[in-house]
Amino acid sequence: VRDTTSRVTDFADSFPEAFKKIFRMEEYGTAVGYLSTELFSATLPLIFIAVGVTWGARVATDEVEAGTADILFSLPISRRRFLVTRIAAEVGVLVLLGAVLWLALVIGAPIVDMSVSVGRVAAASASTVLTGLVFGSVGVLVGAWSGRRSMGLGISLTIAIAAFVVYSLAPLVQFMDDINPFNPMQWTVGTASLPSRLRRC
């Protein structure tokens, strides 16, 4: 990207304005803008949402669906402790993925001659982890309420997709822009411009 900044910028400028707004294509010809558009505006948040929701929907439903819940709850362990332990495991997985993401970008960026701030990459990675945790929590709640992993997965994914659509179209649709401040996607990846987070201080 760095070696072909002019051509990449011209390529990005050729996209319709609506497309650039949906994918937050800011400074696409720079390392920061490229990472923001290609990774942090859609791809990584959706991956972390998928992991968080899939794991979260299983937190309170695995034993119920396997028919082993009665055996588990007959053991000297409280249901609260069991649930907290399973949730902690989900959080640990997402945090570990976020750490791997941060490390990969910190190590990989200099190799391809990209200059980004370590602290800003950490902030962007943390926001992505938080996105997965928010929607994973929905999966936990729905799964615990219904006792069915499929329901927890379906409802939380539906909410996540709806939130992503609203977040993406907010720059174009006034109604969606009005409700976007209440959108979990806006709270996490959209609270500040990712290029400003990634730019070197």
Q: Is the pLDDT confidence value at 63 over 90?
A: no
d(CA 144, CA 154): 14
6 pLDDT higher than 60: no
Gap between the Cα atoms of 139 and 58, Å rounded: 8
User: 85, exposed or middle or buried, with CB in 10 Å at 0-12, 13-18, 19+?
Assistant: exposed
pLDDT at residue 153, rounded to an integer:
93
pLDDT given at position 71: 77
Q: Does position 192 have pLDDT exceeding 60, yes or no? A: no
Q: What is the pLDDT of residues 110-119, one digit of tens each?
A: 887 777 788 8
Closest CA to 158 of 135, 181, 140, 175: 135
* Mean pLDDT, range 9-35, rounded to an integer: 66
Q: What is the pLDDT of residues 75-88, one digit of tens each?
A: 777 778 888 888 99
Q: Where are the domains of the chain?
A: 45-198
- pTM tops 0.95: no
Contact 127, 14 (CB under 8 A): no
pLDDT grade for 27, boundaries at 50, 70 and 90? low
pLDDT above 70 as % of the chain: 78
Q: What is the mean pLDDT of the chain?
A: 81
36 vs 94 pLDDT, higher one: 94
| Count of C-beta atoms within a 10 Å radius of residue 116 | 21
pLDDT value at position 160?
94
Question: What does the H/E/C string look like for the chain?
Answer: CHHHHHHHHHHHHCCCHHHHHHCCCCCCCCHHHHHHHHHHCCHHHHHHHHHHHHHHHHHCCHHHHHCCHHHHHCCCCCHHHHHHHHHHHHHHHHHHHHHHHHHHHHHHHHHCCCCCCHHHHHHHHHHHHHHHHHHHHHHHHHHHHHCCHHHHHHHHHHHHHHHHHHHHHCCCCHHHHHHHHHCHHHHHCCCCCHHHHHCCC
Minimal CA–CA distance to 51: which of 123, 151, 131? 131
- Residue 24's pLDDT is 66
Q: What is the pLDDT of residue 199?
A: 45
Q: What is the pLDDT of residue 200?
A: 41
**Does 91 score more than 90 pLDDT?**
yes
Nearest to 165 by CA among 185, 135, 190: 185
Which are the contacts of 63, defined by CB distance < 8 A and separation ≥ 6? Answer: 69, 72
Query: pLDDT per residue over 130-180, tens digit each?
Result: 999 999 999 999 988 888 889 999 999 999 999 999 988 888 889 999 999
Mean of pLDDT values over 171-193:
82
Residue that wins the pLDDT comparison between 198 and 32: 32
